[in-house]
Amino acid sequence: MSTVLIYDPISEDGLNILRKAGHTLITRQELNEKNKDSIEGLVIRTSPLKGDFLSQLPHLKVIGRHGVGVDNIDLDYATKAGIIVGNTPYANAVSVAEHVLGMMLYFIKKYTLSDSLIREGKFRERDHIGLSELNGKTLGIIGFGKVGKAVYRIAHDGFAMNVIVYDPYIEVPKDVHSVEKLEELLKSSDFVTIHTPLTEETHCMIDTKELSLMKKGAILINPARGPVINVDAVAQSLRDGHLGGLAVDVFPEEPPRPDSPILTAPHVLMTPHSAALTYEAIYRMATGAAEAVVRVLRGEKPDYIVNPEVLKEGKK
């Protein structure tokens, strides 16, 4: 059978799938010049995977991405080398969507403030907290992929929110309120959540101009990729009092630099790129990535392929 490189640690559930298929597993720390030629499969989470490293694995056939985004993988090199890249697009959608709704509730229910009032003996000040409801508020969703759709279902069906969708790359169902221009969404939304991949086009897609178009007091949520927002501009908008709050699960650099402006900006909720790290999602991502590797190594097509052109060209 084949040797599979576990580039980043994954759960035992995923490792067991690879072992049961008869494959030998080695970690990145165990990789050396003698065993590089034997690597035919690779499983990775979020570590950078550059072409210069992939070029050292001449017999690599498949990369299983533990997650959805592939901006950490040199996809151009992999495609040119005939390496199939499979991911797990449905594995974390519910977990991330629930995380987003939790962030929204954090801001309008003011849990932290309410808790501190009780601890400080200020129970009677509850009348002045200023709580609100999601019901009837407008949520703008940028990107209507797997996670965007999951957020829509929970917000629209569960909380009776008005939802606006912007995604110029897919055909949004007719029963979903969509707009053709991002500006329309920004001007109308009480909450804006971003669910796009990181590309040249989406890099800093929320910048000073876009922030100025948002409602005063609106909440911006980014569980996608750090660089899709300009953190300097966002921090300034928060300090100026225009943007009402920022919730982020991702950062331009991870972990964020000690001098990152959002660390000292007001009304910021941060989580450490953990929206997808529920027990359930971790299981689905690990087993999905492992199954993709197993399928390719036995000559089958994986369920989800990021670079299907490799199959058309039949390079490996």
Whether the predicted model's global pTM rises above the 0.85 cut: yes
Residue 65, sorted as left (phi over 0), alpha (psi -120 to 50) or beta, turns out to be beta
> CA geometry: angle at 50 spanning 66 and 252, to 5°?
70
Fold of 93-270: Rossmann fold (3.40.50)
Q: Is the peptide bond before 256 cis (omega within 30 degrees of 0)?
A: no
How far apart CA 300 and CA 190 sit, in angstroms, is 46
How far apart CA 90 and CA 147 sit, in angstroms, is 8
Burial class of residue 1, CB neighbours in 10 A (0-12, 13-18, 19+)? exposed
Helices assigned H by DSSP within 110-200 = 111-119, 146-152, 159, 182-188
Query: What pLDDT, on the 0 to 100 scale, is given for residue 315?
Result: 53
**Do the beta carbons of residue 213 and residue 204 sit within 8 Å?**
no
3-class DSSP state of 6: strand
For residue 197, how many C-alpha atoms fall within 13 Å in the half-sphere facing its CB? 14
Output the CATH code of domain 3-91+279-313. 3.40.50.720
What residues in the chain have per-residue pLDDT under 50? none
* Active-site residue list: 225, 254, 273
Query: What pLDDT, on the 0 to 100 scale, is given for residue 1?
Result: 85
Distance of CA 149 to the CA centre of its chain: 14
The amino acid occupying position 151 is: V
Residue with tokens 């550059």: 50
Domain limits, CATH 3.40.50.720, in the chain: 3-91+279-313, 93-270
**Do the beta carbons of residue 209 and residue 235 sit within 8 Å?**
no
Token pair for residue 288? 């999905």
Query: What pLDDT, on the 0 to 100 scale, is given for residue 314?
Result: 58
